[in-house]
Amino acid sequence: MKDLKAKCLKAKDHLIQSLKKIKTGRASVGLLEDLGVSYYGANVPLKQVAHISVIDARTLGVQVYDQGAVAEIENSIRNSGLGLNPQREGSFLRIVLPTMTEERRKELGKKVAQMVEDSKVEIRRFRREALDEIKNSHFSEDDKKRFEKEIQKVIDDFEEDFDEILKEKQQELLEI
């Protein structure tokens, strides 16, 4: 049971981290912090070479620690596929998030729903593995049934959590 809960928690944490990277029209540090940038030949997360901050609802600020890496970081952000265009002010990059169209919001909503569904499929796989372990164990039939019910309860609780996460993210996407 502990192993099942640990696996499900990891899946939940992974889902939350993945959803942070989806921009909602509001500035969020999570959008850039894990973005890979080339820093003297090594690919490192942006959060290791710069301080990322939220200036206002639609603007991010990136204070680069090393003046020599500003151009490379600027190019990495521009070429990230996020549709961002940083403006350089010395070693500071100002990034204004573009407003999202209704079509883009709906598209992102579908992408979020798919990510949540993928996470649910993953925890259902964990359930199947746990049930197989119980089936092949030396427990009595009554204990096996009790464990199966406990496993199903854990999975149901996580699925409810995932549905709540989905609802919150979709609501966040629809805010203008």
Give the pTM: 0.65
Beta-bridge partner residues of 81: none
Say if residue 110 is in the same domain as residue 167. yes
CATH number at residue 72: 3.30.1360.40
Q: For residue 116, with 0-12 CB atoms within 10 Å meaning exposed, 13-18 middle and 19 or more buried, which class applies? A: buried
- Helices 2-20, 141-174: crossing angle, 10 deg rounding: 10
CATH number at residue 136: 1.10.132.20
Structural domain of 55: 29-96
Tell me which of 61, 96, 131 is where a domain ends.
Answer: 96
Rounded to the nearest angstrom, the gap between the alpha carbon of residue 85 and the centroid of all alpha carbons in its chain is 22
Tell me which of 96, 113, 129 is where a domain ends.
Answer: 96
Domain count, the chain: 2
Say if residue 115 is in the same domain as residue 62. no
Share of the chain above pLDDT 70, in %: 98
Tell me which of 96, 113, 143 is where a domain ends.
Answer: 96
Say if residue 117 is in the same domain as residue 169. yes
Query: For residue 20, what pLDDT is reported?
Result: 78
Residue 30 confidence class, pLDDT cut points 50, 70, 90? confident
Res. 176: pLDDT tops 80: no
Tens digit of each residue's pLDDT (9 = 90 or more) over 82-140: 778 899 999 999 998 877 778 878 888 888 999 999 999 999 999 999 999 988 888 89
Say if residue 106 is in the same domain as residue 92. no
Say if residue 90 is in the same domain as residue 109. no
Say if residue 152 is in the same domain as residue 165. yes
Tens digit of each residue's pLDDT (9 = 90 or more) over 46-94: 899 999 999 988 889 999 998 888 988 898 888 887 778 899 999 999 9
Say if residue 13 is in the same domain as residue 46. no
Tens digit of each residue's pLDDT (9 = 90 or more) over 151-173: 999 999 999 999 999 999 888 88
